[in-house]
Structure 1
Amino acid sequence: MTSTSTPPGLARFNALEEDAARAALLEACSSTAWARRLLAARPYAAPEDLYAASDAAMAELTAEDLAEAMAGHPPIGRPKPGDPTSAREQSGMAGASDQLKAEMLELNLAYQDKFGHVFLICATGRTGEQMRDAVKERIGNSPEQEREIVRTELGKINRIRLARLVEED
């Protein structure tokens, strides 16, 4: 593919100095192993190639790599102050009742006690009630089941964040 058919945002990402590209990737996902794999495969001819590389890298992450990735995500209902990404992604909780927010806090803490990490879900487009129902359902999982669900959810989040990165003009 010629550079004229590469979307401008992807061309800009491909052209970034390695440190800047790494920083952009780590903003999407805080796993250094994931970012390293995506950097090594640059340049990308099309966004779909980047997403496929992300999915492949996600599939190879160890439990430690997943823990590193999850550490970059705030609990549902408590986006990082001043972080427009987590606030946008968790907007389904923004208008939630105080009762639902309190319930999510309790569920988040119970989940974290059981699994040792934040409850992670691709929150984009989900309501507060849907996220509450998901944590209630998933808290009964085994750690192994939950690790694979988290891997899938992280993959979805990464695709959304990468799309934002490479589709900007």
Structure 2
Amino acid sequence: MTNHPHTLDALAAADAAELQEILLEVCSSPRWAAVVAKARPWSDRESLLAANAAAMASLTADDLRDAMAGHARIGKPKAGDATSEREQAGIQGVDQAVLDELHQANAAYEAKFGHVFLICATGRTAVGMLTALRERHPNDAATEAEIVREELRKINDIRLDRLIGGS
């Protein structure tokens, strides 16, 4: 993701192609980006985050797959991707046995649900993510899809805050 914060006004003034490119760095779902862009101008941070929530609520199963496609497997941040590495900082320096357990649990989850395990990893430890993965594995597909939708919303909130120069 870009390292240069934008103001809400600058985002609102961006041309459609530039705004789509910026938003797709936040979330790889084209539909999400289109819905958030359509909500501009955003009067404040809360209205931008409300646009994120509305966009997430509108995503179909295919749109959710598009959104998940932009995320690395938990325990394996994308090499050279500062966003992925920052979001999964909780796995840095963790014991190899825990990483192996994460790998095995991820494989079982992916076999069941057909997509990567998605969780807002910011501020979570590797053990905490592993625990959540194990807790969510028994879910049915519909329940898990709604949890994924909420986790994506949280991730997008954090990324949008960073985009506009927040935390």
The answer to whether TM tops 0.5 is yes
Picking from 112, 132, 135, the partner of 2:133 is: 135
Count of residues in correspondence between the two structures: 162
Q: Which amino acid aligns with 1:142?
A: D
Structure 1, residues 24-74: CA drift from partner, whole Å, max 9, x if none? 110100011110011111111101101001101101110110011001101
Picking from 160, 164, 168, the partner of 2:162 is: 164
Rg comparison, structure with higher value: 1
User: Is the aligned partner of 1:32 residue 2:49?
Assistant: no
Distance 1:126 1:10, change over 3 A: same
Q: Which amino acid aligns with 2:46?
A: E
- Give the structure 1 partner of residue 110 of structure 2: 112
Residue 17 of structure 1: how far off its partner (Å): 1.8
Picking from 52, 58, 63, the partner of 1:54 is: 52
1:166 and 1:25 map into 2 onto residues whose CA distance is 12
Instruction: Identify unmatched segments of 5+ residues in structure 2.
Output: none
Residue 109 of structure 1: how far off its partner (Å): 0.7
2:133 and 2:6 map into 1 onto residues whose CA distance is 38
1:28 and 1:115 map into 2 onto residues whose CA distance is 23
Residue 113 of structure 1: how far off its partner (Å): 0.4
SS of the equivalent of 1:76 reads coil
Counterpart mapping for 1:67-82 below 5 A: 67-82=65-80
TM-score, L = length of structure 1: 0.93
1:167 and 1:13 map into 2 onto residues whose CA distance is 12
- Give the structure 1 partner of residue 92 of structure 2: 94
C-alpha root-mean-square deviation of aligned residues, in Å? 1.3
2:47 and 2:69 map into 1 onto residues whose CA distance is 26
SS of the equivalent of 2:75 reads coil
Residue 82 of structure 1: how far off its partner (Å): 1.0
Picking from 153, 156, 161, the partner of 1:155 is: 153
> Would you say the 8 A contact 1:31–1:66 is kept in 2?
yes
1:65 and 1:106 map into 2 onto residues whose CA distance is 27
> Would you say the 8 A contact 1:44–1:50 is kept in 2?
yes
Structure 1, residues 77-118: CA drift from partner, whole Å, max 9, x if none? 111111000100000011211000111011111100000000
> Would you say the 8 A contact 2:6–2:163 is kept in 1?
no
Residue 16 of structure 1: how far off its partner (Å): 1.6
Distance 1:8 1:68, change over 3 A: closer
